Amino acid sequence: MNVTRDVILDLAPLYLTGEASADSRALVELYLARDAELAEWMREQRASLPLDLGPAPSADLELRTLARIRRRIGVQRWIFSVGCFFVALALSLEVNIRGGRVVEFHFVARDYPVAALVCLVCALACFAAYHRLRKRRFGLVLLAALSAVGSVPSHSAAAQAPDREFRIDAAHSSVEFEIPFMYSHVRGRFDDVVGTIVVPDSAAGGVGGASAAAIIRVASLNTGSSHRDDHLRSADFFDAERFPVIAFRSERVVPTPGQRNGFTLIGGLTIHGSTRPVRVQCRMTLAPTSDSHNVVLAIFTGALAINRLDFGIMGGDARNDWFDRARSATMGDSVRITLEIHGWMADPANPAPYTRATIARLDSIGIDSAVATLRAAFRKDSAAVASSEGALDVVGRTLLDGGRVRDGFLWLHALARLLPRSVNAMVSVGLANKRMGDTARARVWYEQAMAADSLDTRAAVRLARLPVKTRVSEARDSKFW
């Protein structure tokens, strides 16, 4: 059987998703054995698809796909023939014969130049359409989406629900503390704070189901006195060299009765190497609001009181002789902490110009070609792609928020393959898996991100939002992987 490259490319979706018959698989594999370039392309496409695309939507999928192939090849041949006809018309000759001899011949275009030009333009349009049809492949993503119909159980609908993921804007946020000392109070703040806050999209006016994680650098402590700051960072207090960060991870949220935007974050606070459960009374003072700079903003306030002795912060004068026993006795044990947290996220309803342009390009060439273009750009200049990771990640997450889950998955998965050390890319792929209802695979990506960076707040929040694994599910997952 004489099989062309186009036929193999059109059979690729069925072959890659395991839906092709034994004969079709043998046909494709025989051709790939002779075409190393196409074989490599097939491997790249397979690497971009999920490991488990679910059952086929119907038994006659291959027959319907092959019927499309035949129709498309027929259309291609017809368009090519029409293009050739216009070329022949534009280049046609006028021949005069007298007495059985040719006495004159010339191109008809000499007498009808406008008509010839029109014919050439029509021919070029036909050839452009022919090339476009040859270049365009059956959508691997569309087929993957079709093959996943019915594969997501009904109970996973909540897992697919989008949410709003805000990153803490340290420049506009404040984490302040106050402690009694010398018959007055010492007040200070931490200037270096990073974190992630996730609020369900359905809770634009509420906060049920929210979660948060934050990391504070002890070295950023600032009380307005450099001498006092150095003492607080020393082993007498925070011991910043041994315990450089303060961490908080929420475990659950309790809405405040009677307050639509009030809630209590319950979680673990780690200071000085000790973790204690705390309750943070919070309120969302600014519900998610679109800003003119293509972002969504939200503001949260909170407060809590802790006992420094619970975290092993005893105080001492080893690094400061001035802080003697008498002055130490005036220092209180209870520390009041107040928070004003500004969060931001890219606005999926009003993307930035780069995001809009990239998605428009993706729509014009298809997701598989867009992914191939991204890989080609990485091969050409990997540093440029790595430096644009944030913007490229926003493209994929905008696709997810727009309901184009498979497109977003393939884009983010390709980015994670190109940047295998990027914790942010790992978390985004996990998020895409969760949007598809695949909690087990999402957990694997989140745990991989946490293993790469235990302080990553995105990974911590996303992992905490997954349901607790049971022994049965753990056994199933280990077998699956």
Tens-place pLDDT, residues 157-168: 334 557 889 999
Give me 197's structure tokens.
């806050």
Region of 53 please: left (phi>0), alpha (psi -120 to 50) or beta: alpha
Architecture of domain 163-343: Beta Barrel (2.40)
Say what the pLDDT of residue 11 is: 67
Give me 306's structure tokens.
């802790």
Region of 100 please: left (phi>0), alpha (psi -120 to 50) or beta: left
Say what the pLDDT of residue 345 is: 94
Give start-end residues of each CATH 1.25.40.10 domain in the chain: 353-480
Say what the pLDDT of residue 368 is: 87
List, for residues 11-46, the tens digit of each pLDDT value: 666 676 565 667 777 888 888 888 888 788 777 666
- State pTM to two decimals: 0.65
Burial of 107 (0-12, 13-18, 19+ CB in 10 A): middle
CB atoms closer than 10 angstroms to residue 85: 14
Give start-end residues of each CATH 2.40.128.110 domain in the chain: 163-343
Say what the pLDDT of residue 148 is: 38
CATH of domain 353-480: 1.25.40.10
Q: Which residues contact 437 (CB under 8 A, 6 or more apart)?
A: 152, 153, 156, 157, 159, 160
Q: Which of 334, 327, 274, 328 is nearest to 303 (CA)?
A: 334
Return the residue matching tokens 């077998």: 479
Say what the pLDDT of residue 68 is: 64
Please identify every stretch of the chain with a pLDDT value under 50, giving residue numbers as ranges. 50-59, 61, 137-159, 203-205, 470-481
Say what the pLDDT of residue 76 is: 76
